[in-house]
Every structure is written in structure tokens, then in C-alpha cells.
Structure 1
Amino acid sequence: MGAVADRKVGSVHDTPRDAPEPLRQDIRLLGGILGSIVRDHAGERVFDLVEAARTSAFAVRRSELDRQDLAEQLAAVSDDDAVEIVRAFSHFALLANVAEDIHRERRRAVHVAAGEPAPDSTLTATWRKLDAAGLSAEHVAAVLHDAVVSPVVTAHPTETRRRTVFDTQSQISAAMREIDRGGLTPGERERLEQALRRHILTLWDTALIRLSRLRIQDEIEVGLRYYDAAFFEVVPQVNDEVRDALRARWPEVGLGGAPTVRMGSWIGGDRDGNPNVTADVTMRATQRAAQVALEHHLGELAHLEQELSMSARIVEVSAELDLLASASGDDAENRLDEPYRRAVWGLRGRLSATARRILGFVPAHGVTADLEPYDGPGELAADLTVIDTALRRSGSDVIADDRLARVRSSVATFGFHLSGLDLRQNSDVHEEVVADMLAWSGVHTGYADLGEDDRIALLSDVLATRRPITAPGARLSDLAAKELAIVRAAADAVAALGPDAIPNYVISMCTSVSDMLEVALLLKEAGLFDPGDDDTEPSCPVGIVPLFETIDDLAGGASTLEAALRIPLYRRLVAARGGVQEVMLGYSDSNKDGGYLAANWGLYRAELELVEAAARADVRLRLFHGRGGTVGRGGGPSYEAILAQPPGAVQGSLRLTEQGEVIAAKYAEPPLARRNLEALVAATLESSLLDLEGLGDDAEEAYAILDELAVLARGAYGDLVHDTPGFVEYFETATPVGEIGALNIGSRPASRKQTTAISDLRAIPWVLAWTQSRVMLPGWYGTGTAFEQWIDGDDAKRERLADLYRRWPFFRSVLSNMAQVLAKSDLGIAELYSRLVPDEDLRRRVFDRITAEHERTLAMYTAITGNDTLVADNPSLDRSVHNRFPYLEPLNLLQVEMLRRYRAGDDSDKLRRGILLTMNGLATALRNSG
């Protein structure tokens, strides 16, 4: 990986703001250490193979060597050597991520040190924009009174790194930060480089991936690791800053009472296509989340108890604090004059009792005390307020503003539940389960044969009464029994942890009102939905959230929502929930269904129509964006994506999924988490309070243009993906999609059903397979044809699109994200994957069309944007392409060779592990692969 380079270390003030040299030096340093470890621990022969692959890869990039020569060089290595080479380049990709993250921190520090204005996507910049806008307090209060930004952590098959790898990467980052701060003596420098060598050696000797298929229990733990790593520190900080800034600007309206950033999760509640999610798994997910929250609070209280050593002989003690201390049961003689410590000990005792009630045991940092448990986090918060008030009365604000303030904010943010676990299931499953329940109860034996109107009438009647339609011991199908058990486990979690534990039930592939009412029936059977009576309104702590996924379903989403709100019982339920209706938008399946441009425009159009429908029904709309890591699944820079939403679509609230390796890239450490959470909140505030669309009176004309472009793009995409004979065969053989399903990646099957249809394949393997093969098809295909056909040689029409690119954040974001994908694509590498297709005629028919569309899309991008390169507006990606992408070459070429051997009958464990390692390495290197 290259020799260790000498690196001059100086202050960030001495570094040119855009200079990439420090980044290159960091990469040389880390790569040099890795190279020496490969030589020492894998042997000179393996080191020579790695170095030969590295130098040849750079020669290919400089057009000094034909790619086929490198492919033949790698095809000659044994399985054992291939795995070692893959390991080396995978580790380098991981280390390059560290270097790039450190460089981003360095650049931000340089900007701050230079006294430059805070950049976009920071809260400081957002407050500046809001101040300049002169917003009225009434308007801000109306928009932000229930503001919430909720990143929802979801499982993902490419995030398979073990906790040891995760922790070691953080230690490497910490050492690199110390080196970057400068002012080191030679001895200190040597100590840090030795630490780097120790950590990188630990990585080299640690298996990057597990031997067995990832279980949901493992995925739960992966999701929880980010709380200790960053969320516990950063989320309360951001919430406090937002609260204080809002109250300082608009003190009269009392904003910021509830935390703005509230974490969510799908891991253990999302069973759409995942038969491994059971009632036990759902209970485990909520219990483990509660354990993590309670252990954190107890640990912080233990530290607080040690810090609050104030003596009643010296400071004045309020009557409320004295009462709290007296009720604590702490009668130790040596602490009788230390009311704060005694009070906090009592809080620890009550919280320990709470943990025992919820978990069945007292977790770490707990104490044994004969005290009553808290009924909820509000009671703990009230006790903390007593301590805070007492400190401030005695003039100890500086103490109250330290750990105590952090504990209070943490309790307000995470409660006893940590994060809200959404339930999710496919509407087809709900239909089958409800039909079985209705048949067993004798209410109706042919529900599946009813039309939509009859279904709505039947479900409305059943929902109107509190009487359940099943009973313990009911003879239901295995599926119905399992689904009811999961919903009842969710009800138990709500009873133990409060309504925030299970905030939503998401309906995948929702197409009708009956799909929504079926979920209401399941919630009623579990005791979560109460239809009310003449004296009480309906109630349900769990929101019913339709998920519109395909392009056609997105187009009909507003009609479905309006029809649901015309059902009196459902309308009253929404009113009882504060008049808020959440709707989820599916980026992944809409893209797989209709292609990149058609899906993005379908989503925009759906949002416009949903906003109008909600306004007509006088309900408050909250949108939940089902974004994946890659652009083909709604990924890309979050700040720009949120600003690109249509007018009225954000309204102070935003929920979005965060998946897999993208979670690590965004939230693995506090500086990363702070920057990315700030970006989400900043964009939400700006989109909610400022007019950003920029189209004015031209909006309808722009919408009409995109309507036409979307039809053309969908036609071009569908002609290849849905209508080309043999396309499924091509996809299965020219990508590693089959191996994704077979090689123990993730707990979820690759398909919802046992089928070869593209429509039934899950979006993650669909996108992941095209990404691994470097085609990146879901992020661009069809767009070039749409632009070319619409412009049709008319320069005035091309200029119209160029004007939209300059003025319209949505259109600019679509093209910018597409350019990011195209920059990561490599049709030369993709051509090698295409050679895996046995049918030569099929290979040429499909790959030639992909190549032609790729060239067409590149040409149209340049013609519309005027940008000379794909990374003209993305300097960080430009650096990454330059520094990192040559190292991807051996990973791709070895993956092709290993797939060839595997499909030829070599089913050795070594080869299977090698293929999985290439997938993991490429996912790490590309950072948003699926």
C-alpha cells in the first residue's frame, strides 16, 4: 500500500483551505502502515501481489495498462492469495474513509479559524437565514409547534462489520486527530504512529465479516452501537441548541418544549419480507433499547452523584431538595450534610427499580434500594428539575449547566425507550391475516373476495365496537397467530415503556383504504386501538402510516388518503392524535418500478398532491421518506434533498430512514453525527420557514415539463428492465445478485417471494448488485433518453432545462445526484461483469443498450448543466475519486474472477468468503452502495 511518507504536521491555520495535500499525506501514512503489516504478517509474496495489483490499478487509471492485463494478472492467483489481496484493499478502503473524514473536519476547522461565515447545512447558517427573513412569531409557531426530525435506523446487508472493527476504526480516527492537531514532540509522534500500527494490526488480524448469517439479534446490536458512539452525546446537544435558539428569537410562543431530534428504528419491527421477525424479536428490540437508555441514565446519575458534593453546612438547600434527599433512603452518616448526593442516590434507586420492573433485572450502574419505580420519564425529569432549581437558587448555575443539564436533556430525548420502534408489514399479509380472523370469528368467511367498498363497510362496523373478534386459543393460521403475537408484543412494550416505544405501524405496498383499516383492526385486537364511545374519542398510541411505493401507488396516494379521512371513525382517530397524519414515501420500489427520473418526479408530484389533500381535509401532514444509502434508493446529500422538497411538504417535521454503511459514514463518531444531524435539522427548518422552490409563476410550466420527461424516462427504463426478453437472466448473471441472497448477507431474504420477477426482488439487492458491478443503473438509466427526446435538437428547449437546473433546487438535486452516481460508475469494469453472461447474444443486446444510454446520459448532463466534469459541484467526491477509486479496481476484478469460479462449481468456504469480502470492501469504499 505504499511506503510510509514523512508528514509535516502543523496548525490548521497553516493549511490552504482547499489543499488536498494533507489528505494525501494521511492516506500515504495509513496505507504505508497497512503495507508494512501486510508484508510482516502475510509474507513478502502476498505483499508483492498486493503491490503489483496496486501499481497496475493506477496504471490502468492513467491509461498506461490495459484493464484486461490486470484482470488476467489477478485471474492467475489462488483462492487463498485472492482473499489476502481482497483483505488488503478492503482495509485500505476503510482507512481511506478515516482519512477523508478527518480531512473534512480539518477543512471545516480552517474555515472557522479564518472567520468565514458558517457554511450551508450548519445551524449557524440557518439561524442567519431565518433572522434575515424577518419571520413573524405567529408564522413560526404555526409551523414549528410540533417540530420533529427523526432519523430512523434500519438494518442493511452491507453493514456486516463486527463491533471490534467498528471500535478499532474509532481508535484510529482518534490517533489521527491527535497527529493532525500538531505541536508534537518526536516522542509523541512516535507514540501515535505506534498506536496506529497497533490498531491497524488489530484490524488485519480481525475477521471483517462473520462466518454465519447475520441474525436480527446482531442487527439490533449494530443499530444500538451508535448511541454510545455518538447519539448520547450529540442528539441532546443539537436539541438544546435548537430549543435555546428558537426561544431566544421567538420567546413569546414557547417553542422547543419537546426534543426536535428523536431517534427511530425499524430493526426488530420491520417484518416486510423477513420471516425471521417474531414477537420475541420485537420484544427483544424494545427491551434492549430500554436497557441501553436506562444504563446510560444510571451511569450519568452515578457520575452526577459524585460531582454534587455540596454541603448543607455551606450552601442553602431548598425545601424541595431537602424533601427529595429525605425520601431517598440514603441515611449514611458521612453524607447526612450532602443533600444533593443523597437526592441523586434516591433518583438512582428509583430508576433502578424502574429498570427491574421493565427488564426483570437491574442493569449496569444500578443500585439496590427499597424505592418505588418511576411511572415514566416525566417523573424522573421532574426530580431532576428540583435539583436544577436548587442549584440555581444557590447561585450555582455553572454547575447546573454541566452534567446535570446533559442528564436532563438526555432523559427528555431518550426517555426509557431510547428510540421509537416502527412496525412494518406488507398489505398482502394484512389481508390474509384479517380474512382468517374474520372467518374464525364468524363475522365473514369470504373477506378476500369482497370489493373495496364492501371491505370498508365491514371493517368500519367491526372497528366501531370494543369487542374483539378473536380470543386466546383461537384456531388461526400460523401466519395470523404470528402477526397477532407481534402486535401484542408491541402493546406490551407500549404498556411498559410508554407510547413513544412504538410510534407507528407502516403499511408496505398500501393501495387502498381497506389496507389502512386492516391495520386498525390488528391494533384493536392487541388492545392498542380504542374506538371510543358516545363520551370518549377514539385513541391509539400507534399511528397508521400508509407507505406508497410504486409510481402508480404514489400517483394515487392523495386519493387514498382523502378516502381514508372520509371514514368518520378514522377521521376522529386522526383528530384525537393531534390532527397529524403521517405518510411514508417509498424511494426504492418506485425507482425499481419506473427508473430514476420517473421515480423522483413521481415522488415530488405525490408530495404536492398529498399536501393539497391534507390541506383540504384540515389535517397536518408528516412525511416519512424511505431513503436508502445510494441515489437509486433516494440517497445523496440529505441537506440538498430536503431543500428540494416541494412547498409545504416539510412543515417542521421530517422522518427518514438511515441504512447500513451510510449510518457508519454519518454517525460513527460525534463530529460526524453532529454535522449530519445539524444538516437534517437545518434543512428541515429552512424548508419549513423559507420559500425555496424558486419557480414562482413558472411552477406549473416546470411541472408540465417534468411530467413529459418522466413519461419518456419511464418508457426508456421499462423498455429495458421490464420488456426486454432475457433481461432477468442478464441481471442474474452479470451481477452478484444471486450470491447476495446465498452468501449469508443480512437477516432478510433477497426477495419478498420465491420468484425471479424484478418486481418481487427487494430493492436493496437490486441496487446493491448494480452498484457492485459498477453499472449503477438504478441511479441514471432512462434519463438520457428522456432529455434527448424532449429536447429533440431544439436549443431553446435545452436552455429551458438549463434554466430549471439553475433555479429549481429539485431539478438541480436530481441532476447532481445522478452525476454522483455516474462518477462512481465504470462501464469498463461493468463490461467484465457482462462476460459472466453465458448467452453472448443476450449479453451484447443488453450491455450495448446500457452503454449507449450511459453515453447519452453523460452528454445530456453536460449539455444541460454546462459542467465540464461530473464532480464539478462536489469537491469531496472529486477528491475521493482521485484518491480512492484506483483501489477499487482489484476488488471488482477479483469479484468477477471469484464469481466465475463459484459459478463453475467451486463452492469452497474460502471462495465464498472471498466473494463476501469483495462485497463488503466495495460497499465500504463506495460508502453508499445499497
Structure 2
Amino acid sequence: MPERMMRDLALLSELHRQVLMDSGRSDLLDLSRSLERLCADGDLAGAFRLVADLEPADIALLARVVTVHLHLTNLAEERLRARSLQREDGEFAGGEDTGDLTPAIAAYGPGAADRLAAMRIHPVLTAHPTEARRRAVSSALRRIALHLEAYDHPWSGPAEQAEARRHMLEDIDILQRTSTLRMTRPTPADEVKTIVTVFRQTLKDAVPRLQRRITGALGIDPVTGPADFPSIVRFGSWVGGDRDGNPFVTAEVTRETVAQHAGEALRILTEAVDHVARTLTVDEVSTPPSTALRDALANDAAAYPRLVGEITKDSPREPHRQKLLIIAARLEATRIEQVGLAYDGPEECLTDLRLVQESLVAAGDPRAAYGSLQDAVWMLETFGFHLAELEVRQHSQVHRAALVELLAGLPQLVDDPEAAADDAALLDRLATEGWPELDSTPSATTREVLDTLRVMAWLQQRWGRRSCGRYIVSFSQSAAHLVGVRALASLAVGSRPLELDVVPLFETGADLAAAAQTLEDWLSLESTRRWVDERDRAVEVMLGYSDSAKDVGPTSATLGLHAAQSALVDWADRNRLTLTLFHGRGGSLGRGGGPLGRAIAAQPTGSVDGRFKVTEQGEVIFARYSDVRIAQQHLERVASAVLLTDASTHASAREDARQRYAQMAERLDEASRSAFRSLVETEEFADFFAECSPLDLLADLRLGSRPARRSGVEHGRSLDDLRAIPWVFAWSMTRVNLPGWFGLGTGLAALGDLDEARRAYREWPVFSALIDVAEMSLAKTDARLAARFLELGGRPAIAERLLSELELTRTLLLDLLGQEDMLDRKPHLRTAVALRRPFVDVLSVLQLRCLREVRSAGADGEEQSPWREPLLLTVNGLAAGLQNTG
């Protein structure tokens, strides 16, 4: 562990101990220390004996103590990352390269500047419920981090350090006494507030910092050149738009979400422009305005006489400042919807800012033109007036049900509504020619589908097309599923304008394999061809990582996604389309998680092409965007990876490796898929999973607004509609981590000699990424604890099968890597896991005790069991310790 992190963690741990001593709970401290030692020494039997006689209240308090320690450990590590970035010493890279653009630009060669200028990085923030921390806990940790920064500041003397120490003790005391459990489920509006806070606290500053890094790496003179370099980042959001299985996201919620987005974007822009205006005090003698700027001010005086009069009085003979103050006032008027003064759209505002820049340059002051004013320009290009592009998502079967109902009201046109809802040609005609008059009134469910499309049209009229234009169709399985959305839109909005981008989402193994043919059928329809031509033949397709892994296992899902992407690239090339692949990656290792730079490098040739769009979910949002410096570095890493992925030498080597190892991948795919499907199709497997894990209790954590199952049922024993997040989360609790590795051992065994696999690991990025994710997942497993959890399932044969595959996978993976243990060649990650392991093991021991007690109460007594709350506290603590549970 780096010395500075050891120092921080030692201080925080000392303060935590003092808090416990001062509160009279030294017994908890002694007990937790004893348990940690036993777990560190591998004496699980001793640990179980130590907790055997504890009461529920004692376990709850003990779980809180260990959880707070893990939160403080995470804080110390995050601070090390931020400080390492600030000093640019590379001390902590978190398991990835530093993401410096300079070597990536050199590797790409000539044309790197043009490639970067055309690049689009598009993170999409989602409310997928994998962030187990309450906002109160996050806020307390943020305060502690600020006090720790003050304590450690080189200018802080004894008095300042004493004050910072006092504040840290106070906040650690508050943290220790704060319940980690949510009492109420968050609403979509609460989730929107959380996402907006990320923009306010970090992203508004991270974007211009990223742009400065890019222009600096390209050697662009910061005084004369950055205005020519556009912002390369665009943000999206599903929060308030994703209604797939979430009945609480309605058309009204979507409308209010965009209103909040717009309010925050305009507040950010107003503050940025006002700041530039207040500091830009150059006068007309030293910096004469251009003729264009004089004319603009004259026009403003005629249009807004009172405003311009006040500004001129307060800032006489400072025309550049005057114009910027007018821009700031108009942005504020746009936010509060003041008719007459508000901007029509971001393009008009950008024209005004460019006018000021050009005037400053013409007056010989490019430094002022391309300083903070340029940062404001980049912010406007990135956020517009909408902050993040809100995307709507709904399940294909919801659309189909609405169509069946509506088509039943057209007996003169349709004989069989069920068949008609799957008739892509009929739906295409309805999309292009409109609907006949409907006699019946739609049901509430169907009306909500239509109202969503109507709201999208209204939002575009109010805030511009970028505010809300994409409509993602979950479980897209046919052309009818896609054109059906356009047919519904035709009915909902009629002749009113709606620029609708229908985005298919392919999720299961079978759907991914058939994706290219589904799209070919879709492209043959007139409504699709019209839309493609209107969009300059640009098409977006989304790929689901988590559901495909839950469907066919992690190994087959990775290889299947890779094959599907290659097929989609070929399809786009054949049809002269510009394809953007949207990657629905989760934060956990079982849902496509892991180092993003490695994942980008593994993409098939032609699938990136300067455009990378990806979901950012749950705890990943806070890991990557909670600190300005970390956020900037993350975005820089993505830009570097996208640039390198497109470099000709990398692309050629990657393509050669794909062809060279195609047969090996086929054998691996077949064997691993068979092993995975055989397991999950085993009779009573769903019951086994529910009984050996806290699966049925996860809903009580109230992590997000949406139910754990698409059907809305919170509990049950079927895997069919269980979402991928609780699937992964529950397996991580058992310390099995099945979604990250199961089937890989059988697949490697089917290869026989591992020499080819070793070469593939060195030469083929997609295979090395697959192995690295499995290695990390296995590093967080514990076979001894896993065996005890699996005993609770009451099916020894299934448990033995799981443990045998775990041992096989572990043995063959270490053989392939040539290592004695997991993460031997990744010291940062190895240290991070080892640092937390004794405390994570303590929580697992406590959870096992609680889970046994809850199960012993029987189905009727589980709800009232006093062991239920301490069990949930251990789940929260394990989420903090394992870090990528969802």
C-alpha cells in the first residue's frame, strides 16, 4: 500500500477507534478486532464460534462498525487516486494505464488531431440500483474527505490541523450513528436529483479540464488555438426516462426530468458566463470592440433597453463585459422562462459567445478570448440547454400489447390484432400514412405509452431535439418491435413534429446472434429508410451485457457480443451506414464491468470508429465522477482508448488475432455455454439460489425506484424475469460471484492444451479482457465461505457442482496466467482486495449467522424476524467492501 494512503487510513482508523471508545463501545472494538484477526488467519471456525451467541442488536452494531471502516478505506483510496492525479506521479492507476493522451496521439500518428476533433464520447448515466450507500452516508464521507484535505494541506499549522481533526471526529461519529438502510424507496424524482448533483459538483468542471488536456496533448497553443477544437463529450441519462419494468416512471416524470435538466444546465452556464463577465474588465481603449460587437450591443439596447441601461451604467466603456453580462442575463431569463429576453436555443447563445471571442482576438487579446470564456463555450457545446440527453426506454412487449389493443379497434383493417401487431409491413404503413379514426378509448396503460411520445414531442419543441429524442426498445427481436414504436408515434403526435431515433437493444444470446438480420429486415421498411436518410445514414444500436451474461454465461456472452458487433459492422458497411454501438455495461464484473480502457481496446475493428457510447451505472457513477480530477482522468482514458483502438496498427493486429483464434473461441463458447445452461436449467436451481442467498431481501434495501423483477413482483423463485442486477448482487453476497466466471473452467478444459489460450491472452484483446474480468471476480470469491452459504440451499448436488467448477476455473486460470494466485501481476488491485478481505470476511460471517436465523423462522416468520435488519446491514457493508456488487 502506498505510504500516503497508509498514513491517511491510519489516521481515519485512529479517529474511528476514538469515536467508539468515547461512545462507551470499546467492547465492539475488541470484538471486531478479534473477528478480523481470526478471518485474516483463516480461522473461520473460530470466527463462527465468536458470533454464535451474539444477539441481533449486537450483530447490527458490529456490522455498522465494520461497514464504516470499509467506507473510510474506500475514502482513503479515492483520495490517493485524486492526489496522484493532481501531482501527476502515477502512484495509483487503479489497475489501468494512466490514460495519458500524449502516447496515444503518438501511436495513432498523423491525423490524430482531426480524429480527436471528430470524436464523440457519450456516457449515459442510469438509475440502475447498484449504489447501496444512502445519500446521507455519501455526504458524510464527502465532508470527511474535505476535512482530511485540510488536515494534510502543507500550509496547515497545528491550529488548523486540530480544527480539521475535530471536524473529522464529529463526522465519523455521525457516520457511525447513521443507519445505512433506506427507510423509504427513492422515487424517480429523487434519482434525478442525485444525477443532477453529479453534474453540478464535478462534470461541469471536468469537461473544460478534459478539453484543456486534449488541446495541450495536441500541442495547440492555449492562446491562439483552442476555439477551433470542439467539445468531444456528450452526456445522456436514463434517469426519469427508463420505464422498462418501472411503473413509477411516467410521461409526467419524463417531462419534469427534462425541466430539471434544463434548469441545472442554464444555471451552470449562467454562472460560468457571469464569472467571465465579472473578471473581464478590459476597456474599449485598450481592447476596442469589433464592428460586429458594436452592432450587437446597439441591437440589444433596442431590444432590452432597461437591462442594457443598467449594465452600461455599471460597466461603462467595457463593451466586451457588457455583452457577456447581457448573455448571462438572457441565460437566466431562459431558465425562468421569461418571454422576450430568453434565448430561442443554445445555438443563438453560442453565436453570441463566439462574437465576443472574435472581437477580443481582433483587438489583440486572444488570451482573454480563449481562457475562461473558451471553457464556457465548451460547456455550452457539451450541455446545451438540456444538460444530458434524456433517453426513453421501454420493453418491446409493452409496445406490442398497446398495438394489439389499438389494432383491435380497427376491424375494418385488421382481422387478427395479435398477428397484425407482428406484421412489420402493416405497422410501417401506419407509421408513414397515419391511422384511421379510432372508435375506442385506449386503456390507461396504452394511453401512457402514447403520452410518453407526446411528451417527447413537446420537450423537443421547448428545449430542442437533443433534450429527448432517443427511444430504446428493450428485447428487440424483430423489425415489428422497432417499427411498432414509429406506428405508435404516428398515432400519438399525428402531423406535429417529433424527431424520433428508435434504438434497438439486443440483450439475450439468441437476440444478439440474430441482430444483423433483424436490422436488415428493419432497414427494408419505408419509415426506416426515410429516417436513415434524414439522419445522414447514421444509426445507433444498443448491446446488452448483463442479460446476455445471465442468459448464456459470462464467457459465451463476451464472445457472443464480440461476434454480434462484428456482424453489425459488416451490416452497416454493406448498407453505407455510420454505426454507433451503445454498450449497456454494468459496474459489476458479471454485467460487463471491469477496466473500461481494456474493454474499448477489445472492441472489433470498425465498431468504434471514433464514437463510444456506454452506460454508467450505480456505484460506478460515484467511483468515476465524484471527484473532478478523477472524472477528468476517466474521460481522458476513454478518449485515449478510443483513439488507440482506431489506430491502424492496433486494428490490424486485433483483426489478425480474431481470425487466428476463431476456432479456439468456438470451442470455448460451446463448452462454457453448455455448462452454464445446464446449471441454470437444473430442477430447483431457482429455489436453491433464493435460499442460499439474501436474494428475496434485496428489495428491502430500497436501492432504486424500480422493482427487482420486470413483472413488478419483488419476490419469487423464477429466474425468467429476474433482473440482472439482483442476480449479480445476490451471488456476490454468497462469495461465489458466479456471474463473473461460471463455465470458463469447463471451456478451458475443453481446449485441452492451454498453450493456444496463453498466446490468445497475449495477442487477442477480447480474450485477455475476458480472462482479466474472471480473474478479478475470482479474487473476490472465497470457497470456504461460499460452501457455507451454498449449504443453506439444501441441495448438495448443486452446491458440489458449483464448487467443483469454481476449483476447476481457478486452477486452469492460474495455469493459463502462470501465477501462484489471483492478481499476482496487478499489485494495485491485489492490494485493494487484500486490504478489505478480513473485513469483508467478517461481514460474510455475520451475514451467514443472520441468514440462518432468518431461514429458521420459516416462510411465515421471516418478515417479523429480528435478524432481518442486521442481515440487511451486512449486505450494505459487503457492497461497500466488494465495490462492484451490482
In the alignment, which residue of structure 1 is the partner of 2:838?
886
In the alignment, which residue of structure 1 is the partner of 2:38?
59
Identity fraction in percent: 32
- Write the distance in 1 (CA, Å) between the matches of 2:814 and 2:228: 45
Are the equivalent residues in 2 in contact too, given 1:236–1:413 (CA < 8 A)? Answer: no
1:494 counterpart letter in structure 2: Q
Q: Within the alignment, does 1:98 sit opposite 2:75 as a pair?
A: yes
In the alignment, which residue of structure 2 is the partner of 1:575?
533
In the alignment, which residue of structure 2 is the partner of 1:776?
737
Are the equivalent residues in 1 in contact too, given 2:245–2:707 (CA < 8 A)? Answer: yes
Q: 1:49 to 1:380 in 2, by over 3 A?
A: same
- Write the distance in 2 (CA, Å) between the matches of 1:525 and 1:203: 53
Q: 1:54 to 1:666 in 2, by over 3 A?
A: farther
Are the equivalent residues in 2 in contact too, given 1:511–1:553 (CA < 8 A)? Answer: yes
Are the equivalent residues in 1 in contact too, given 2:117–2:232 (CA < 8 A)? Answer: no
In the alignment, which residue of structure 1 is the partner of 2:189?
217
The Cα of 1:811 is off from its aligned counterpart by 0.9
- Write the distance in 1 (CA, Å) between the matches of 2:284 and 2:88: 48
Q: Which sits farther off after the overlay, 778-787 or 438-447?
A: 438-447
Are the equivalent residues in 1 in contact too, given 2:428–2:487 (CA < 8 A)? Answer: no
Q: Within the alignment, does 1:40 sit opposite 2:22 as a pair?
A: yes
User: What does 1:101-140 align with in structure 2 at a 5 Å threshold?
Assistant: 101-107=78-84, 112=89, 121-122=97-98, 124=100, 126-136=101-111
- Write the distance in 2 (CA, Å) between the matches of 1:108 and 1:313: 42
Q: Within the alignment, does 1:714 sit opposite 2:714 as a pair?
A: no
Q: Within the alignment, does 1:800 sit opposite 2:756 as a pair?
A: yes
Q: 1:183 to 1:343 in 2, by over 3 A?
A: closer
Q: Which sits farther off after the overlay, 890-899 or 878-887?
A: 890-899
User: What does 1:706-745 align with in structure 2 at a 5 Å threshold?
Assistant: 706-722=665-681, 724-745=682-703
Q: Within the alignment, does 1:829 sit opposite 2:777 as a pair?
A: no
User: What does 1:155-170 align with in structure 2 at a 5 Å threshold?
Assistant: 155-170=127-142
Q: After superposition, what is the alpha-carbon deviation per residue over 1:281-325, rounded to whole angstroms, capped at 9, x for unaligned?
A: 111211111111111112223323322333346542333333444
Q: Within the alignment, does 1:345 sit opposite 2:345 as a pair?
A: no
The Cα of 1:81 is off from its aligned counterpart by 2.4
In the alignment, which residue of structure 2 is the partner of 1:6?
none
Q: 1:696 to 1:397 in 2, by over 3 A?
A: closer
- Write the distance in 1 (CA, Å) between the matches of 2:128 and 2:362: 50
Are the equivalent residues in 1 in contact too, given 2:82–2:627 (CA < 8 A)? Answer: no
Q: 1:164 to 1:875 in 2, by over 3 A?
A: same
In the alignment, which residue of structure 1 is the partner of 2:479?
513
The Cα of 1:123 is off from its aligned counterpart by 5.3
The Cα of 1:658 is off from its aligned counterpart by 0.7
Residue 631 of structure 2 aligns to a residue whose secondary structure is helix
- Write the distance in 1 (CA, Å) between the matches of 2:218 and 2:473: 35
In the alignment, which residue of structure 2 is the partner of 1:150?
122
- Write the distance in 2 (CA, Å) between the matches of 1:244 and 1:503: 34
Q: After superposition, what is the alpha-carbon deviation per residue over 1:496-521, rounded to whole angstroms, capped at 9, x for unaligned?
A: 11111123111111111111101122
Are the equivalent residues in 2 in contact too, given 1:306–1:341 (CA < 8 A)? Answer: yes
In the alignment, which residue of structure 2 is the partner of 1:425?
394
**Structure 2 residue corresponding to 1:461, chosen from 429, 440, 443:** 429
The Cα of 1:908 is off from its aligned counterpart by 5.1
Are the equivalent residues in 2 in contact too, given 1:816–1:873 (CA < 8 A)? Answer: no
Are the equivalent residues in 2 in contact too, given 1:325–1:340 (CA < 8 A)? Answer: no
The Cα of 1:743 is off from its aligned counterpart by 4.2
**Structure 2 residue corresponding to 1:377, chosen from 343, 346, 349:** 346
Q: Within the alignment, does 1:816 sit opposite 2:772 as a pair?
A: yes
- Write the distance in 1 (CA, Å) between the matches of 2:585 and 2:412: 40
Are the equivalent residues in 1 in contact too, given 2:435–2:490 (CA < 8 A)? Answer: yes
Q: 1:696 to 1:268 in 2, by over 3 A?
A: closer
In the alignment, which residue of structure 2 is the partner of 1:316?
288
The Cα of 1:255 is off from its aligned counterpart by 11
In the alignment, which residue of structure 2 is the partner of 1:11?
none
Q: After superposition, what is the alpha-carbon deviation per residue over 1:527-573, rounded to whole angstroms, capped at 9, x for unaligned?
A: 3998xxxxxxxx96332111111111111111111221222331231
The Cα of 1:50 is off from its aligned counterpart by 3.6
Q: 1:560 to 1:193 in 2, by over 3 A?
A: same
The CA RMSD over aligned residues, in Å, is: 2.9
Q: After superposition, what is the alpha-carbon deviation per residue over 1:587-642, rounded to whole angstroms, capped at 9, x for unaligned?
A: 11111011110110000010111111111111111101110111110000000011
Unaligned 5+ segments in structure 1 are: 1-18, 363-369, 531-538, 792-796
In the alignment, which residue of structure 2 is the partner of 1:31?
13
Q: 1:810 to 1:873 in 2, by over 3 A?
A: farther
Q: 1:106 to 1:418 in 2, by over 3 A?
A: closer
Q: 1:335 to 1:802 in 2, by over 3 A?
A: closer
User: What does 1:575-654 align with in structure 2 at a 5 Å threshold?
Assistant: 575-654=533-612
Q: Within the alignment, does 1:389 sit opposite 2:358 as a pair?
A: yes
Are the equivalent residues in 1 in contact too, given 2:538–2:579 (CA < 8 A)? Answer: yes
Residue 423 of structure 2 aligns to a residue whose secondary structure is helix
In the alignment, which residue of structure 1 is the partner of 2:174?
202
The Cα of 1:684 is off from its aligned counterpart by 1.3
Are the equivalent residues in 1 in contact too, given 2:287–2:360 (CA < 8 A)? Answer: no
Q: After superposition, what is the alpha-carbon deviation per residue over 1:201-242, rounded to whole angstroms, capped at 9, x for unaligned?
A: 332344434311121111111111111221000023324544
Q: Which sits farther off after the overlay, 695-704 or 549-558?
A: 695-704
Are the equivalent residues in 1 in contact too, given 2:90–2:98 (CA < 8 A)? Answer: no
Residue 330 of structure 1 aligns to a residue whose secondary structure is helix
The Cα of 1:858 is off from its aligned counterpart by 0.7
The Cα of 1:380 is off from its aligned counterpart by 0.9
2:737 counterpart letter in structure 1: M
Q: After superposition, what is the alpha-carbon deviation per residue over 1:152-189, rounded to whole angstroms, capped at 9, x for unaligned?
A: 11113232534443333223333434555546543443
TM-score, with structure 1 as normaliser: 0.88
Q: Which sits farther off after the overlay, 733-742 or 54-63?
A: 54-63
Q: 1:446 to 1:909 in 2, by over 3 A?
A: farther
2:676 counterpart letter in structure 1: Y
In the alignment, which residue of structure 2 is the partner of 1:702?
661
- Write the distance in 2 (CA, Å) between the matches of 1:845 and 1:492: 58
Q: Within the alignment, does 1:330 sit opposite 2:330 as a pair?
A: no
Q: 1:120 to 1:113 in 2, by over 3 A?
A: closer
The Cα of 1:645 is off from its aligned counterpart by 0.8
- Write the distance in 1 (CA, Å) between the matches of 2:228 and 2:391: 24
Are the equivalent residues in 2 in contact too, given 1:330–1:345 (CA < 8 A)? Answer: no
- Write the distance in 1 (CA, Å) between the matches of 2:402 and 2:411: 14
- Write the distance in 2 (CA, Å) between the matches of 1:806 and 1:160: 36
In the alignment, which residue of structure 1 is the partner of 2:460?
494
Are the equivalent residues in 2 in contact too, given 1:773–1:833 (CA < 8 A)? Answer: yes
**Structure 1 residue corresponding to 2:2, chosen from 2, 5, 20:** 20
Residue 636 of structure 1 aligns to a residue whose secondary structure is coil
In the alignment, which residue of structure 2 is the partner of 1:288?
260
Residue 692 of structure 1 aligns to a residue whose secondary structure is helix
The Cα of 1:847 is off from its aligned counterpart by 1.3
- Write the distance in 2 (CA, Å) between the matches of 1:256 and 1:829: 58
- Write the distance in 2 (CA, Å) between the matches of 1:721 and 1:256: 55
Residue 657 of structure 1 aligns to a residue whose secondary structure is strand
User: What does 1:552-563 align with in structure 2 at a 5 Å threshold?
Assistant: 552-563=510-521
- Write the distance in 2 (CA, Å) between the matches of 1:914 and 1:123: 41
2:400 counterpart letter in structure 1: E
Q: 1:675 to 1:541 in 2, by over 3 A?
A: same
Residue 440 of structure 1 aligns to a residue whose secondary structure is coil
Q: Which sits farther off after the overlay, 83-92 or 692-701?
A: 692-701
2:235 counterpart letter in structure 1: M
Residue 380 of structure 1 aligns to a residue whose secondary structure is helix
- Write the distance in 2 (CA, Å) between the matches of 1:653 and 1:529: 33
Q: Which sits farther off after the overlay, 902-911 or 268-277?
A: 902-911
**Count of residue correspondences:** 867
